Structure 1
Amino acid sequence: MTIAAGAFSLGGVLLFVGLAAVALLAQSGNGGAYSLFDAYIWRVTRFTLLQASLSTLLSILFAIPVARALARQASFPGRIWLLRLMALPLGLPALVAALGLIQVWGRQGLLNRSLAAVGLQEPISIYGLFGILLAHVFFNMPLAARLMLAGIERIPAEYWRTSANLGMRSMAVFRFIEWPAIRGLLPGIAGLIFMLCATSFTLVLTLGGGPAASTIEVAIYQALRFDFDPPRAIALSGLQVGMTGALLLVLKFLAPPPQEGETTGKAIRRFDGMSGLPRLADRTGLALALVFVGLPFVAIAYSGAQADLPRLVSEPIFHRALATSAAIALLSAAISVVMTALMVRTQRLVLARRRPGVAARMFAAAIGASTSFILLAPPVVLGAGWFLLLRPFGDVARLAPAVVIAINALMALPFVHRVLAPAMTTHAVRSDRLAASLGIGGLHRLRWIDWPPLRKPVLMALSFAMALSLGDLGAVALFGSQDMVTLPWLLYSRMGSYRTADAAGIALLLGLICLILTVLGTPGAERPDEGGST
């Protein structure tokens, strides 16, 4: 039953993407003439690879010390709120976050005004490659840190007791205990961040500073929006998929085999980083991370507070936008979490057979790849394809909510998979044999064995997916209308009509909603006591 459901989920992903591509190709009629080997395409491909590679490297390099500090300093004041803050970048529309970065790093931003006050008149320019890298690190470093932190927190408590008994210093703990856990996650995290940066559109358009900083995603948008050349858009999408897919394949072979340590389930209590230089370094790093991630949100909050918030909240159109956004976010997140859980479980069941055949291994590999592949399908391509598919059936607006929910659910799959897959794998290694020997299955296993240890990752994945859906504008931009208004659509419509104060107020309200989601998805710190349970 589980395998059939996993196969159905895989088929649904491939069918949804394939039908959109076929619809675009069919619309072109004669197929069109295009070339992927002109100078412009080579230039945007080189820049795409350069900015995505540098963004991935910088995000991971900064995330490792942040994740390690969060793991070691369990009593850091406001630690749980720092974790919640680091989930916020994913939930805001990219343009809103970019505006917050401009208010801090722009020519008239806080940093340049501070430099001018001390006599440094040469301003820092946020536009160009520097601005794109800055924005990508702002979005992806917190994501990488939270995923690494989840991996570190799955290390058995016995490892920390042994390291303390052996008197291992900070670097030895990192080398022999933390690094193996992080190293196993790096290929997946790096692949996810690279895909996010390679397919970045709004940030590149906002902070690129001109044609010299164009990416393949921008070229796809231009092919559809200005030239309406679907064959060229599909070919560019294929180039993007092939380029990123090759990198993911390399990362897959570089990934070490998972090694899950046995544990008795005792509370985790760390003895390193409790005092001295390690504690100072950790707290300094966390303070810097707080400033880097938090300042743009402070700028957004300051601008939003200047708006007439009581009037905005009382408007009927805001009520409709909030209700529509909440319904779409909840449904798409639930679909994404259920699909991911079924696919992860199916993949494990298929590979758990004594001698899985070639077909079984290929099926399992396809399931694993599909959760990342969907991120390479540009939302504008999916939305345009399904718009063309639904147009012959009458009013597209009637079916628009279902299409938006499906696109948002699929776009959240990579994030949900990165959260659930490691947790489900670790839990299966530790509980499958025992549950089978006791004959526990079905709802009894779900309630008493699976849910308690998987509750936190499920809530985190659900909050991630809902925040992503709440901040989405790609699919809504094609289908949004007076009959289907979401908060991002309302925000961008106010910006388009130059009602900047209202737009800032809606951005603040959207950020507060995402903060509430991160609070719900990040349970309060549970103080581990010796012999207790986490």
Structure 2
Amino acid sequence: MARRVLQISPATWAGGIALALVLALSFGSLAAVALRAEGDTGLGPADWAAIRFTLVQALLSAAISVALAVPVGRALARRRFAGRQVLITLLGAPFILPVIVAVLGLIAVFGRGGILSQALGLMGFEPISIYGFHGVVLAHVFFNLPLATRLILQGWLDIPSERFRLAASLGFGTRDVARVLERPMLRQVLPGAFLVIFLLCLTSFAVALTLGGGPRATTVELAIYQSFRFDFDLGRAALLALVQFALGAAAALVALRVALPTGIGAGLDRPMTRWDAASGWLRVQDAALIALATLFLVVPLAMIAINGAAALPSLPASVGWAALRSLAVALGSAALTLLLALSIAALVVRRGSKLAEAIGTLTIAASPLVIGTGLFVILFPLIRPERVALEVTVLVNAAMSLPFALRALVPALTAVEADFGRLADELGLTGTSRLRRLWLPRLRRPLGFSAGLAAALSMGDLGVIAVFASPDGGTLPLQIYRLMAAYRMGDAAGAALLLLALSLALFWVFDRGGRLDADA
């Protein structure tokens, strides 16, 4: 075993360097803001209001998302229909959907000039407004309801079909099945799903930037941004960054301590038949729930396509340049993510280091804006921050995508080493030879998925670039926000459609490339 460790010194060094970079970004940026926050400056009333708003909106958004996901997940679990698998796949789309695009779609549906307000106007009612607390919560539910549904649906699918067959033979009705089978599963699944969504809502920036604002609808991250861009109060921004990191770290620790679902027994993987849900009323109820959830997901995206298609031919040149910058950032972030993830995964698998894997996921506790705050504090005395805006954005986006890439690569590389590691050792495959001949051919699927996810997430990010970019620079999401701020909603819709198309294309190209002719 000692000889095997010595043979992989290049992987060990690469993994060590990658971990050092993650630690520097996580704790180095935190140390920088901590030093900058020293002094007599404390949290004012507006800061405490931002903290309260952040916690309340995250709690409410997570609670509503999970509460609505339970009946939708149950309906999907007990019904089979044409297009069901496509719909379940679409439930994962909001995770890679650029936030600014979804916000524009929600405005087109729920804004004062949206289709819902127009329908209310025809009935003699006043139009509704999407801005403020309720708009932030609505947007977070739009993003996280599909995620919660996927998590809860998996819990239902993990219940062996034999349990439902036994329940039917015992004459159990719908309430009995819910009490004996479904509620125990939900008690295992719901806490984890709630905490994951709470953490995502806690670190959401673009939603609060576009739909929040004002004293009553400001999150901690939005307060950090305002301290930079409007007040240039680095001390206050640094103090708020510490608060944001503490909130995220606390939520992440609680989420990690919540046990994953253990299931309620093994089965024979037979198709599930739900005799307890055969009544016509339950069929209608489930169909209505699935239809409403689908409309809630699809209609805002359809409005983006409809409004954006008309504006595409007349988009200003600034949108094209911003799109090119976004593509460069996305490709750079994807490449750096793969380099870091593969280096850390090699260290985790070959050395059996769980600590290395834990360090690799540290960035999930920090938001991009917090890390960006630390980098801004470090770089500001040395160089004009806008000159390195794209490079910093690439670095931070790669760090934020790293936990998801590790989640895909570590199990896959573990399986490869378990199947072929001993043979590779006997053949003397080490270093780059092992990488080229063993790992890369058999890791194309997770590598392609990780690259596509990192590129799509980076393409739609509106965080660090909002702090570092110059007034005439920036990526496509920032350009869309500027068009919205200038009330050029047609151009914003066209740019949003372009951003959506580029994000989905990047994910598809990388993911498809990883699956094409890949070894199993």
TM-score in terms of structure 1 length: 0.74
Pair 1:262–1:272, CA change in 2 (3 A): closer
Q: Are 2:508 and 1:516 equivalent residues in the alignment?
A: no
Tell me if structure 1 keeps the 8 A contact 2:51–2:220.
yes
Deviates more, 1:134-143 or 1:487-496: 487-496
Partner of 1:208: 212
Give 1:248 shift. Answer: 2.7
Pair 1:322–1:231, CA change in 2 (3 A): closer
CA distance in 1, matches of 2:211, 2:143: 14
CA distance in 2, matches of 1:163, 1:260: 9
Partner of 1:471: 460
2:52 maps to amino acid: R
CA distance in 1, matches of 2:99, 2:84: 26
Partner of 1:76: 82
Q: 2:98 aligns with which of 92, 99, 119?
A: 92
Partner of 1:355: none
CA distance in 1, matches of 2:131, 2:443: 47
Pair 1:336–1:514, CA change in 2 (3 A): same
Pair 1:483–1:205, CA change in 2 (3 A): closer
Q: Are 2:33 and 1:44 equivalent residues in the alignment?
A: no
CA distance in 1, matches of 2:107, 2:385: 37
Q: Are 2:392 and 1:403 equivalent residues in the alignment?
A: yes
- Report Cα offsets for 1:348-394 as digits up to 9, x if no partner: 666x5xxxxxxx77x35742651412337536514523541650xxx
Partner of 1:229: 233
What is the SS of the residue equivalent to 2:82?
coil
Give 1:299 shift. Answer: 2.3
Q: Are 2:68 and 1:59 equivalent residues in the alignment?
A: no
CA distance in 1, matches of 2:439, 2:320: 37
Pair 1:480–1:213, CA change in 2 (3 A): closer
CA distance in 1, matches of 2:347, 2:264: 20
Pair 1:458–1:255, CA change in 2 (3 A): farther
Partner of 1:310: 313
Give 1:406 shift. Answer: 0.6
Pair 1:71–1:13, CA change in 2 (3 A): farther
2:278 maps to amino acid: G
Pair 1:499–1:339, CA change in 2 (3 A): same
Deviates more, 1:467-476 or 1:3-12: 3-12
Give 1:72 shift. Answer: 6.0
- Report Cα offsets for 1:1-45 as digits up to 9, x if no partner: 4555444322212213445455556778xx442113x44333332
Give 1:135 shift. Answer: 1.0
- Report Cα offsets for 1:222-257 as digits up to 9, x if no partner: 333333332332222222222332233233323248
Deviates more, 1:272-281 or 1:505-514: 272-281
The number of equivalent residue pairs is 490
Pair 1:341–1:171, CA change in 2 (3 A): farther
Give 1:166 shift. Answer: 4.3
Tell me if structure 2 keeps the 8 A contact 1:199–1:378.
no
2:271 maps to amino acid: R
Taking the TM superposition and a 5 Å limit, the aligned residue runs for 1:229-248 are: 229-248=233-252
Tell me if structure 2 keeps the 8 A contact 1:88–1:514.
no
Partner of 2:3: none
What is the SS of the residue equivalent to 2:367?
helix
CA distance in 1, matches of 2:75, 2:490: 38
CA distance in 2, matches of 1:251, 1:47: 21
What is the SS of the residue equivalent to 1:220?
helix
Tell me if structure 1 keeps the 8 A contact 2:54–2:220.
yes
- Report Cα offsets for 1:85-116 as digits up to 9, x if no partner: 7414643243x432322232234432233344
Pair 1:128–1:406, CA change in 2 (3 A): same
What is the SS of the residue equivalent to 2:461?
coil
Pair 1:72–1:469, CA change in 2 (3 A): farther
Give 1:57 shift. Answer: 2.0
Tell me if structure 1 keeps the 8 A contact 2:227–2:236.
yes
Q: 1:34 aligns with which of 33, 41, 47?
A: 41
Q: Are 2:377 and 1:385 equivalent residues in the alignment?
A: yes
Pair 1:16–1:54, CA change in 2 (3 A): same
Deviates more, 1:16-25 or 1:400-409: 16-25
- Report Cα offsets for 1:20-78 as digits up to 9, x if no partner: 455556778xx442113x44333332222111111122223333454565566675327
Pair 1:230–1:192, CA change in 2 (3 A): farther
What is the SS of the residue equivalent to 1:213?
coil
Give 1:136 shift. Answer: 0.7
Taking the TM superposition and a 5 Å limit, the aligned residue runs for 1:354-433 are: 363-364=355-356, 366-367=358-359, 370-375=362-367, 378=370, 380-382=372-374, 384-385=376-377, 387-388=379-380, 390-391=382-383, 399-416=388-405, 420=408, 424-425=410-411
Pair 1:396–1:80, CA change in 2 (3 A): same
Partner of 2:5: none
Runs of 5+ unmatched residues, structure 1: 353-359, 527-533
What is the SS of the residue equivalent to 2:204?
coil
Give 1:446 shift. Answer: 3.9
- Report Cα offsets for 1:449-481 as digits up to 9, x if no partner: x548xx3x6554433322221112323334445
Tell me if structure 2 keeps the 8 A contact 1:374–1:410.
no
Give 1:293 shift. Answer: 1.5
What is the SS of the residue equivalent to 2:231?
coil
CA distance in 1, matches of 2:14, 2:360: 15
What is the SS of the residue equivalent to 1:237?
helix
CA distance in 2, matches of 1:289, 1:61: 13
Partner of 1:285: 289
Pair 1:242–1:210, CA change in 2 (3 A): same
Instruction: Determine what percentage of the aligned residue pairs are the same residue.
Output: 37
Give 1:165 shift. Answer: 6.1
Taking the TM superposition and a 5 Å limit, the aligned residue runs for 1:322-333 are: 322-333=323-334
CA distance in 2, matches of 1:447, 1:338: 12
Taking the TM superposition and a 5 Å limit, the aligned residue runs for 1:4-153 are: 4-21=13-30, 31-36=38-43, 38-67=44-73, 76-77=82-83, 79-80=85-86, 83-84=89-90, 86-88=92-94, 90-94=96-100, 96-118=101-123, 121=125, 124-146=128-150
Tell me if structure 2 keeps the 8 A contact 1:341–1:420.
no
Tell me if structure 2 keeps the 8 A contact 1:70–1:79.
no
Pair 1:513–1:431, CA change in 2 (3 A): closer
2:392 maps to amino acid: V
Give 1:137 shift. Answer: 0.7
- Report Cα offsets for 1:235-293 as digits up to 9, x if no partner: 22222222332233233323248689999xx9x66333598356655543332221111
Pair 1:431–1:9, CA change in 2 (3 A): closer
Give 1:303 shift. Answer: 2.2
What is the SS of the residue equivalent to 1:226?
helix
CA distance in 1, matches of 2:452, 2:153: 17
Tell me if structure 1 keeps the 8 A contact 2:345–2:413.
no
What is the SS of the residue equivalent to 2:380?
helix
RMSD between aligned residues? 4.5
Partner of 1:530: none
CA distance in 2, matches of 1:460, 1:187: 28
1:61 maps to amino acid: A
TM-score in terms of structure 2 length: 0.76
Tell me if structure 1 keeps the 8 A contact 2:25–2:371.
no
Pair 1:446–1:186, CA change in 2 (3 A): farther
Tell me if structure 2 keeps the 8 A contact 1:24–1:384.
no
Runs of 5+ unmatched residues, structure 2: 1-7
